[in-house]
A = this chain, B = another copy of it.
Amino acid sequence: MADTKVYRASTTAPVNIAVVKYWGKRDAKLNLPTNSSLSVTLSQDDLRTLTTASCSSSFDKDTLTLNGEEADVSGARTQACFRELRSRRSALEEKDASLPKLSTMPLRIVSENNFPTAAGLASSAAGLAAFVRAIADLYELPDSPSELSLIARQGSGSACRSLFGGYVAWRMGEKADGSDSLADQVAEASHWPGMKALILVVSAGRKLVPSTSGMQQTVATSALFKHRVEAVVPGHMQAMEEAIRDRDFAKFAEVTMRDSNSFHATCLDTLPPIIYLNEYSKAAIRAVHMLNEAAGRTVAAYTFDAGANPVIYYPEEETEAVVGTLFPALSKTTGWKEGPAYGAMKAVVDLQDVGAILAEGVNRVICTGVGEGPTKSDQFLVAEDGTPVTGSK
């Protein structure tokens, strides 16, 4: 009698926000980057993807449901992940004939984020990391997170960093086959648990300079990019690892801001130029510099991914200085966890015009901080009989 059982595994995976940025591929097919990068994994209490991977011979084909909508699985990146994971499962099955032949069964993957897509956060890293981790758990693969990061990387570059919690490096590697381009953990979240992140979700504004396929356009046209890759990022990687090792926030902040500025500078040096920062982004940059200047010490750092949303890192002990200064401008914005407490904090500087612009452009804040890596979940988005279900949102 044929095995029509539905096999399942569920995992959550986190978002990560780089402090040394990935931008540019040296191999577009294998998703091999031109430089190493480093990120902070954010708490899954605030931002996470929940993914259930299931397989059964009763399913008719591989499917993927993202936030309730069918997604295309025919793309080369998704197919590469399926192929790599099945091949590893298949190797186990060959060695142990008693194992069910999961590698031959269609997969049904269902995935949901606990934050609205409208938040404008790149959820692909969390999504791909959860996707790979869930299938690896379903297949009971013995691979380490670093080994799995090789697969996630092929799905979405920065996803490889979401396979770990805490502080994570993606080593660019040197080999042509990409076998050394993987993520490793620089430090556990518990090594420096007080790292907070305040994400300002800003109005998109008017996007005048298209960003599609911008990464490879930068590689092809920016003379400054080559210098960033060869001479700037290696120094940032080393300094950032030292800053994390020493829990040196001033150093962490300087490298974070320098690296974000350097990355966006190479975007601007692209032809045609790519400009992600808008008036609200500029206001956040100004606010952070005003804050640090007024405090007389480094209390906050900004960074921007390929978009306009500022992510402001700050150490927990500086909550009063940072949140106490930003909250008055943004008190009407949704997303604050402890509004009354924040309202009672003392600002170190009046942001004036800069605060008014932030008030106009910030639609929502997300208060979060460093967190753990993917975690097995007992919440399933595929029922025992194989039916997709909706999780609590």
Binding site for B on A (CB under 8 A): 205-206, 208-209, 221-224, 227-228, 231-232, 235, 254, 257-258, 261-262, 264-266, 268-273, 275, 277-279, 282-283, 285-286, 289, 353-354, 357
Contact A257 B278 (CB under 8 A): no
Q: How far is the CA of A285 from the CA of B273 in the complex (A)?
A: 8
Closest to A284 in B: B208
Q: Quick check: A285 and B209 within 8 Å, CB to CB?
A: yes
**In the bound complex, CA of A232 to CA of B135 (Å):** 48
Cα A223 to Cα B228 with chains together (Å): 8
| Cβ–Cβ contact B224 & A286, under 8 A | no
* CB-based contact A264/B271 at 8 Å: no
Q: Which of B221, B223, B231, B266 contacts A232 (CB 8 A)?
A: B223
Chain B residues positioned under 8 Å from A261 (CB to CB): 268-271, 273
| A279 → B minimal CB distance (Å) | 6
Contact B257 A268 (CB under 8 A): no
* A307 to B: closest C-beta gap in Å: 15
B285 touches A271 (CB 8 A): no
* B271–A357 touching, CB < 8 Å: no
Is there an interface contact between B231 and A283, defined as CB atoms closer than 8 Å? no
Q: Is the CB of B279 within 8 A of A269?
A: no
A68 to nearest B CB, angstroms?
31
* Docked CA distance A205–B224 (Å): 28
Which residue of the partner chain, among B208, B224, B278, B357, contacts A227 with CB atoms under 8 Å?
B224
Q: Closest B-chain residue to A268, C-beta based?
A: B265
Does A289 contact B272, Cβ atoms closer than 8 Å?
yes
> A208-B354, A208-B357, A224-B262 given. 12 additional CB < 8 A pairs?
A205-B279, A208-B286, A209-B286, A223-B227, A223-B231, A223-B235, A223-B262, A257-B271, A261-B271, A272-B286, A272-B289, A273-B285
Contacts of A266 in B (CB 8 A): 224, 265
Asked if A275 and B273 sit within 8 Å, CB to CB, the answer is no
- Residues of B contacting A277 with CB < 8 Å? 275
Contact at A279–B206, with CB atoms within 8 Å? yes
Nearest-Cβ distance from residue A298 to partner chain B, whole angstroms:
12
Q: Which residue of B lies closest to A288 (CB)?
A: B272
Shortest Cβ distance from A32 into chain B, in angstroms? 23
- Least CB separation from A254: chain B residue: B271
Most buried by B among A265, A270, A277, A354: A265
Can you list 6 contacts pairing A with B, beta carbon distance less than 8 Å?
Answer: A206-B279, A209-B286, A223-B231, A264-B268, A265-B268, A275-B282
CA–CA, A268 and B279, complex, Å: 14
The contact of A269 among B222, B265, B278, by CB within 8 Å, is B265
Which chain B residues border A231 with CB–CB below 8 Å? 223, 227
Chain B residues with CB under 8 A of A357: 206, 208
Other-chain residue from B235, B262, B279, B354 in contact with A279 (beta carbon distance below 8 A)? B279
Of B224, B227, B270, B353, the residue contacting A206 (CB under 8 A) is B353
Closest chain-B Cβ to A202's Cβ sits at a distance in Å of 13
- A209 pairs with B282, CB closer than 8 A: yes
Residues from chain B with a CB closer than 8 A to the CB of A209 are 282, 285-286
* Residues from chain B with Cβ under 8 Å of A273 in the complex: 261, 285
| Distance, CA A221 to CA B258, complexed state (A) | 9
Asked if A283 meets B228 with Cβ closer than 8 Å, knowing A257-B271, A271-B258, A271-B261, the reply is no
Complex: how many Å from CA A272 to CA B301? 11
